[in-house]
Amino acid sequence: MRLLNLLKIAFKAIVLNKMRTLLTMLGIIIGVASVIAMLAIGEGSKESIRETISSMGSNMITIRPGADDRGPARGSGGNVQTLTLQDYEVIKAKSELLSYITPVVNGGGQVINGSNNWPSTIYGVNPDYLNIKVVGLQSGSMFTDAEVSSASKVVIIGQTVVDNVFPDGQDPVGQMVRFNNIPFKVIGVLEEKGENTFGQDQDDVVIAPYTTVQKRILAIDYLNQIMASAISEDDAPEAVTQVTEILRSQHKLLDNVDDDFHVRSMEELISTFSSTSEMLTILLVAVASISLLIGGIGIMNIMYVSVKERTKEIGLRMAVGGKGSDILMQFLIEAILISITGGVLGVILGLGSTVFIEKFLHWPTNVALYSIIISFAVCAVTGIFFGWYPAKKASALDPITALRYE
Amino acid sequence: MSKEIIKIEDLTREFIMGAETVRALRGISFTIKEGEFVTIMGSSGSGKSTLLNILGCLDQPTSGIYEIDGVKMKDLSKNQLATIRNEKIGFIFQSYNLLARTSALENVELPLFYNSKVSSEERRDRAIKAIEMVGLSDRKDHTPSQLSGGQQQRVAIARSLVNSPVMILADEATGNLDTKTAYEIMSIFQELNKQGITIVFVTHEPDIASFSNRTIVLKDGNIIQDKINNKVLSAAEELANLPKQDD
C-alpha cells in the first residue's frame, strides 16, 4: 500500500515535469548512445584492420632447409637438399593445425613470348599456393592436382610478367610462352598484389606445378621450401612447434642436434598486428572511459540540480507528513524510472546510429555486448545515485529548513 | 473544562547566524485547550512564525518542553513526528506551498498519500469533501497557477483539513490577501473551529485577531500579552458589512 502510493507519487512527479524529466533522460540517453556508437566504430575498425592483415597471409608458415654446418665449408640453406617431398607428405599427413600446404621449388629464368622477354622467377607449387598467399586469379584458372601429377607444362603469370611479355594488351590466357626455352601454356593471370612490405614486386612471378618445375626446369628432386598456412592466426605459433617436432622426428634428429631446417611464421606481421590491435584497444578504452566520464558527469549534474531545486517540495512533503524514508523512496523510484528508461532509449539510439553510420557513411562497425552493458550500468548507477543522494540530504533536514531553501 | 491539547514550557529557540546567535524565542510558556481559536500576534521578528513552526513540529526548540496531548515532542523520532504532522496537525503556510502543475484536488490529496491507512477511493472522497468545504468544487481540476491567491489559500486550507487534524496551524494565512478574501478565509476558520478543531493563527492584523477567542502577543521572543477575547466577531457578518467594491 505504502509502496504503491509512493510509486504513484513518483510517477506523477515524472509526468508532471516533462521537460525536467526529458532533460535528465537526455543526459543518460546521449551518454549511453555515444559510448555504444563510439565503441562500435572502434571495434569495427579493429575488425577491419584484422581482416586486412589476415588477407595478407598472416597465418602463413614457411619451412626452409637449414644451413649446412656438417662439413668444414659451410653452405647456405638454399644449397642444401635436406627438405624433400616426403617431408611435405609427412607434415601434410600429421599436422592438424594447417589448412593448406604446398611444396615450393623456385628458380630464375627468362620468360619469352615472340620478340618480348622478361627475367622472372618461376615457382613450382601445388594448387594450395593461392590460398596460402591469399591471392586470386584475375582471369583463367589454376592448374589442377591432375596437372600437378602429370607435370603439365602450364603456367599462371603475374601482372608484371604480362605487362612485359604481352605489351600490346592481348589476353595472355591460352597463349604459349617459353620459360628457359621450354614452352608453357598460360592458363591464368594472378590478381595484382603490388609490392610486399619489403618492396618486392609480388606480381613478377610465374607459377607452375612443382612437378613440372622440378623435372623439366631445375632437374632436382628436393624442395626449396614448404609453405603452409595455419588454420587461424592464433594457431600459427602452435603450428610452428608442431611442424618442427614432425620434421625433427622425420629427419631422425637426436635431442642434442640442432634443427636442419627453419620453420617461420609471419612473426613480424603478427607482432605488428598485435601491437596495432593493442593500441587500438587502449585507444578504445580511453575514448570510452572519457565519454562515460563526461556522460556520467552530465547525468550527475542534471540529477543533482533537479533534485536540489526540489528541496522545497521535499520540505512540503515532509510538512504534510511524509517520512524521510517516504521521500527517499519516491526520489529513488523516480531516479530508477528515469535512468532505466533513459538507458534503454540510449541503447536504442546507440544501435540506431551505429546502423546509420554503417549504412550511410560506410564505416565498419561492430557493436560489442560489453559496451552496451558497461555504458548502461555506469549511466544507470550514476543517475540513480545522484537522484538519491541529494534527496537523502534534503530529507534529513528539518521540514522548515527544507521549505525555506531557495 | 476541556483538556489541554498544547502545552509549552519555557520554550526557547536560537538561530546561529555566523558568529551571532539570534534568540527568536526567549522562554515562552502557555497552554492551549481543545477547541480554542488562538491568534498569535506581534510585529515581524517577534518570533511568532518560529513559535508556530515549532508547534507544527516543522522545527525543533533549542530548549523547553512542548507537549501535544501530554506527549513530549522531544522524545519522538523523526518518523513519529512525521506521523504527528500527518495525522494531528494541519499546517497552512503564508506562501501556500502548493505543488506546481498539480491540480487542486491532487494537492489536497497529498497528505493522505503518506497515510497508508487510507485507501485510494477514500483518499479521493475525503479530498473532494475538503475541497467542497472551502467552496472550490468547481475549481478542483485547476492547477495553482490558474487560481487566484485566495483560491490557492483555500486549497491549502483544504489540504490541512483532509487528514481530519485535531488542530490547524496557520502562518499568516491571510497575509497576502485583500480584506474581502481574508474575511472569507476567516469565516472558513470560524466554521472549522465550531466543528471543534483547535486553531492557532499567526497574524499581525488586529482585525483578524478579533475573530478569535484568545490573542497572545509576542515581542522580541517574549509574551507580552495573553488575553481572552470576550467579544468574538463573526467573520461572515463582517463580510456582509463590508462596503461593496467595484470589481
Q: For chain A, what is the largest distance between any 2 Cα atoms, rounded to a whole number of angstroms?
A: 107
Number of domains in chain B: 1
User: Bridge-partner residues for A176, per DSSP?
Assistant: A185
3-state SS record for B96-120 = CCCCCCCCHHHHHHHHHHCCCCCCH
Residue at B214 is within a domain: yes
B53 touches chain A (CB under 8 A): yes
Strands of the sheet containing B89-92, edge to edge, are B89-92, B167-171, B198-202, B37-41, B214-219, B222-228
More confident residue, A34 or B247: A34
Query: What is the three-class DSSP state of A363?
Result: coil
CB–CB contacts below 8 A, A to B: 72
pTM for the full predicted model:
0.70
Strand locations in chain B (E): 4-17, 20-33, 37-41, 63-68, 71-72, 89-92, 167-171, 198-202, 214-219, 222-228
Cα dist from B234 to A283, A391, B150, B214, whole Å:
80, 45, 19, 14
**Does residue B22 lie in a domain region?**
no
pLDDT of the residue at B138 = 93
| B102 within domain boundaries | yes
Q: What does the DSSP 8-state code read for residue A398?
A: -
> Which run of H or of E encompasses A145?
helix A145-149
Do B114 and A12 make contact, defined as CB atoms within 8 angstroms?
Answer: no
- Residues of B whose CB is below 8 A from A399: 57-59, 85
State the pLDDT confidence band at A72, using cuts at 50, 70 and 90.
low
Q: Indicate if the pLDDT at residue B246 is higher than 60.
A: no
Residue B159 lies in a domain: yes
Question: How much is the pLDDT for A79?
Answer: 57
Q: What is the pLDDT of residues B38-88, one digit of tens each?
A: 999 998 888 999 999 999 999 999 999 999 999 999 999 999 999 999 999
**pLDDT attached to residue A366:** 85
Which residues of chain A approach chain B closer than 8 Å at the C-beta?
1-2, 5-6, 8-9, 12, 16-17, 312-313, 316-326, 398-401, 403
| Residue B3: inside a domain | no
Could you write out the DSSP letters of every residue in A291-344?
HHHHHHHHHHHHHHHHHHTTHHHHHHHHHTT--HHHHHHHHHHHHHHHHHHHHH
Q: Using alpha carbons, list the distances in angstroms from residue A178 to A58, A197, A268, A293, A365.
A: 34, 30, 37, 68, 49
The mean per-residue pLDDT over the stretch A206-222 comes to 90
Closest CB to A322 among B59, B82, B163: B82
Q: A320 vs B86: CB contact, 8 Å cut-off?
A: yes
* C-alpha A362 chain-centroid distance: 17
**Residues B147-159, mean pLDDT to the nearest whole number:** 92
Judged by CB atoms closer than 8 Å, whether chains meet at B58 and A323 is answered as: no
Q: Is residue B193 part of a domain?
A: yes
Q: B120: exposed, middle or buried (C-beta count within 10 Å: 0-12, 13-18, 19+)?
A: middle
B231 touches B238 (CB < 8 A): no
Query: CB distance from B62 to chain A under 8 Å?
Result: no
pLDDT digits (tens, 9 = 90+) for B172-206: 888 888 888 889 889 999 999 999 999 999 998 88
- Tell me: pLDDT of A75 over 60: no
| Separation of alpha carbons A121 and A206, rounded Å | 6
- The whole-number average pLDDT for the span A47-53 is 73
Check pLDDT > 90 for residue B129.
Answer: yes
- Over the stretch A90-101, which tens digit does the pLDDT of each residue have? 998 888 888 899
Please report the pLDDT score of residue A210 as a whole number.
92
All three cell numbers of A288: 570510452
Task: Tell me the three state secondary structure of residue A203.
Answer: coil
Query: For position B38, what pLDDT does the model report?
Result: 95
Q: What is the mean pLDDT of chain A?
A: 84
Q: Which of A175, A179, A170 is nearest to A209 (CA)?
A: A179
Integer Cα distance of A15 and A24 in angstroms:
13
- Say if CB A316 and CB B99 are below 8 A apart: yes
AA letter at A322: G
Whether the per-residue pLDDT at A74 is higher than 60: the answer is no
Distance of residue B58 Cα from the nearest chain A Cα, in angstroms: 5
Contact B102 A317 (CB under 8 A): no
What's the pLDDT band for A395 if we cut at 50, 70, 90?
confident
Distances (CA, A) of B125 to B106, B144, B162, B226: 12, 21, 10, 40
Report the pLDDT value the prediction gives residue A50, as an integer from 0 to 100. 72
Q: How far is B227 from chain A (nearest CA, A)?
A: 29
3-state secondary structure of B234: coil
Q: Dihedral of CA A280/A286/A290/A291: which sign?
A: positive
User: How does DSSP assign A266-297, residue by residue?
Assistant: -HHHHHHHHHHHHHHHHHHHHHHHHHHHHHHH
Which residue, chain included where needed, has cell 505504502? A2
B112 or A50, higher pLDDT: B112
In a domain, B226, yes or no: yes
d(CA A350, CA B246): 63
Which is it for the CA torsion A116, A120, A126, A129, positive or negative? negative
Confidence of residue A232 (pLDDT cuts 50, 70, 90): confident
What CATH number is given to the structural domain containing B156?
Answer: 3.40.50.300
What's the pLDDT score for residue B31? 94
Cα(A312)–Cα(A155) distance, rounded to whole angstroms? 89
Structure confidence by residue, pLDDT tens digits, A111-140: 998 888 899 999 999 998 888 888 888 888
Q: pLDDT tier at A353 (50, 70, 90 boundaries)?
A: very high
Sign of the dihedral defined by the CA atoms of residues B139, B144, B146, B151, in that order: positive
B127 domain residue, yes or no? yes
Residues from chain A that touch B93, judged by Cβ atoms under 8 A, are 403
The whole domain housing B173 covers: 35-58+78-241
Q: pLDDT per residue over A298-327, tens digit each?
A: 778 877 887 888 889 899 999 999 998 898
Which residues, 6 or more positions from A265, have their beta carbon under 8 angstroms from its beta carbon?
A59, A60, A61, A230, A236, A237, A239, A240
| Alpha carbons B25 and B46: distance in angstroms, whole number | 8
- State the helix-helix crossing angle for A324-356 and A18-55, rounded to 10 degrees: 40
Interchain contact, A324 vs B86, CB within 8 Å: no
CB atoms within 10 A of CB A3: 11
The CA distance from B192 to B128, in Å, is: 16
Q: What percent of chain A has pLDDT over 90?
A: 17
Query: Which DSSP state fits B145?
Result: G
Nearest CA in chain B to A9: B113
